[in-house]
Amino acid sequence: MPRNWLRAARLEKHLKKPSLVRDTLGRLVFTDEAGTVHGDVHAVRAFPITAPSAGISLLDQAGKELFWYASMAAIPEHDQELILEELASREFMPVIECIQSVSSYATPSIWQVLTDRGETRLRLNGEENIRRVAGNTLLISDANGVQYLVRDSTQLDKQSRKLLDRFL
């Protein structure tokens, strides 16, 4: 029994805390517990819409998981900043705050919307491009592949809900 404890203690000496840094090209570099350095690492959320602060994975270039964080709170502060920067550069999902107008109630149609990033127009090819994710949360994909999020359809103004209901 003491022998296993001694072996574990020796092994623990050689293990390091995982860490993240940016290289000279601005890419994430991950050093795992064994001290192995992995370049060009990507951070990915497990549940970007329903639980954005739970389940963050670090992946190598081939998509192989290198490390898993159960929650944002489990990530050291310095690494958390780098991961949030990486996620912001990868994730582009404007949040629809208001549907101002719709060109027609038949698809395809052009929607004039106000998002958290400003006013824009999107082309909805079909009703199947509006997906209910969880509860009243909707994901709308436009003709260009951009995905728009409606966090809670019940919180939209009356006119927006009325226009949206015609497509649901």
**57-101: pLDDT as tens digits:** 999 989 999 999 999 888 888 888 999 988 887 778 899 999 999
Q: What is the pLDDT of residues 24-43, one digit of tens each?
A: 888 899 998 888 899 899 99
| Listed residues 51, 74, 90: the one ending a domain | 90
Inform me whether the pLDDT recorded for 5 exceeds 70.
no
Domain termination site, one of 90, 106, 125? 90
Query: Structural domain of residue 124, as residue ranges?
Result: 96-165
- Please, what's the b/e burial string for 95-107 (b: 16 or more CB within 10 A of its CB; e: otherwise)? ebbebeebeeeee
What's the rounded Cα separation, in Å, for the pair 15 and 10? Answer: 9
Same domain as 82, residue 119: no
Q: What pLDDT sits at residue 15?
A: 56
Structure confidence at residue 4 (pLDDT): 56
149 pairs with which residues across the strands? 95, 139
Indicate whether 157 pLDDT > 90.
Answer: yes
Average pLDDT of the residues in 109-119: 94
For residues 47 and 63, membership in a common domain is answered with: yes
pTM: 0.64
Residues 31 and 82 in one domain: yes
28-31 contacts, C-beta under 8 A, 24 or more apart: 28/58, 28/82, 28/86, 30/58, 30/66, 30/67
Clarify whether residues 84 and 107 are in a common domain.
no
Between 102 and 91, the higher pLDDT residue: 102
Euclidean distance between CA atoms 149 and 61, whole angstroms? 28
Q: Does 162 score more than 90 pLDDT?
A: yes
Number of domains in the chain: 2
Same domain, 8 and 85: yes
**Residues 111 and 80 both lie in one domain:** no
- Average pLDDT of the residues of the chain: 86
Among 29, 62, 90, identify where a domain stops. 90
